[in-house]
Amino acid sequence: MLNALRLSVSAAALLVVILPSPAVATEGGGSSKALGVDTVLSGVMPPPGLRLTTFIGYYDADHTLDGSGNDRPGISDFNVHASAVTPRLQYVWRGVELWGANVETRVGFSVFVDAHISFDVQTPVGKIRRESSSTGIGDMLIGPALLGWHSEQFHQIAGAEFFLPTGKFDKTQPANTSRGYYAVGPAYLFTWFPTDAIEVSGSLIYLINQKNHDTDYRSGDEVSFDYGLGYALTPAWQTGASGYLYKQVTDDEQNGLVVGDGNHGRVASIGPFIRYHPSSDWGVTVKWQHEGLVENKTRGNRFFLQFALQLL
C-alpha cells in the first residue's frame, strides 16, 4: 500500500530550514508530515500480513517566500535540497477486527537523510553567505492501531500517527535531519473507484505539534490533504495527477508569545505520476509535484520513488 510514505518521507520534509529572523511558517518552515506522499491507494489497507514500503524522496527549492507570497526580503541566492530513504513496515493483524474494520500497525523510520541549505543574507556591511549541511538518520512515525473498512468501490482508513524526533537537531545549524519535537496527527484516508479504471484517493491529517524544548518554540497546528486521481491504462499500468494542499491554522509561539503575525504557512501542489503494479504483491510509483500558492514557506519541487512489497 503506497499511502505508507507518510511515515517515511516524514524525513524528507523534516529537514527543511531554519532561517534568520523573521521566522517562516512552522519552526524553520518544515513539517513532521511528509507532504504529497499519501496519493495512491491511500485508503486501501493491505491484506492481513506484513508489507514493506520503501520511500525515496527528494526536495529542491530556490525560493523562500513571505506571508504575501513574495521572495523574503534580505535573502538571495537561496537553495535548499534534501533527500531521504525511509522503509516502512505495515502489519495487518490476522483474525482481528474492531467495529467491522481490519486493524493495522505501522512503523516508519528514515534510515538516511541528507539536507543542504545555502543563501545570502543582506546586512549593513554587505552580503553574508550562509551554508549548512546535515546527514544522518531522520525522525520516526508510529501508527499503533489504524482501522480499515472496505467495500467494493470505497475504502477508508482512520487513526492517529505519532511523529518522534529520533533524528539529530542542532539549534545552531540551519539544516537538520529532525524537527526536534513530537507531534501527533489524527488522520482519515480514502480511496474510491467510481469505475474499474478510475481511482480517486485522498488523505487528510490534522497535525498537533509539541514544543521544541531546545528552542522554546511551538509550531502552529497544521492541516494537509494529499490527493491523487489515477486512470488505469492497463491492468498493470496507471497514470494520473497527484499533489497536496497545506495550511497552518494556529500561530507559532516562542517563549509563550506569538511569533510575528503567527507565520501561517500555505502551499498547494500538483504534478504527474505513473505506477506499475503487475500484481497485488508489489508495485512501483514515480511522482513529481510542483508547488504554488506559497506563503511563509519554501517553493520548489518534490520527487518520489516508492516500492511496495508484500512480505508475509
Q: Hey, how many other C-beta atoms are within 10 angstroms of the C-beta on 293? A: 12
Q: How much of the chain exceeds pLDDT 90, in percent?
A: 83
Per the document, the length of the chain is 312
Is residue 116 within 8 Å of residue 83, measured between CB atoms? no
pLDDT tens for each residue of 259-292: 988 889 999 999 999 999 999 899 999 999 999 9
Residue 26 has pLDDT above 90, yes or no: no
The answer to whether 40 touches 228, Cβ cutoff 8 Å, is yes
Averaged pLDDT, 59-84: 93
Please report, as a single letter, which amino acid is at residue 109.
F
To the question of pTM greater than 0.75 for the whole model, the response is: yes
At 24 the pLDDT is 54
- Quick one: pLDDT at residue 25? 67
Kindly state the DSSP code that residue 10 receives in the 8-state scheme. Answer: H
* 100 has pLDDT over 80: yes
- Give the HSE-up count for residue 33: Cα atoms under 13 Å, Cβ half-sphere: 32
Domains of the chain (ranges; CATH) run 2-310 (2.40.160.40)
- pLDDT number for residue 173: 87
Section 58-64 average pLDDT: 95
CB contact burial 79-113 (16+ within 10 A = b; e otherwise): bbbbbbbbbbbbbbeeeeeeeebbbbebebbbeeb
Residue 221 near residue 249, CB atoms below 8 Å:
yes
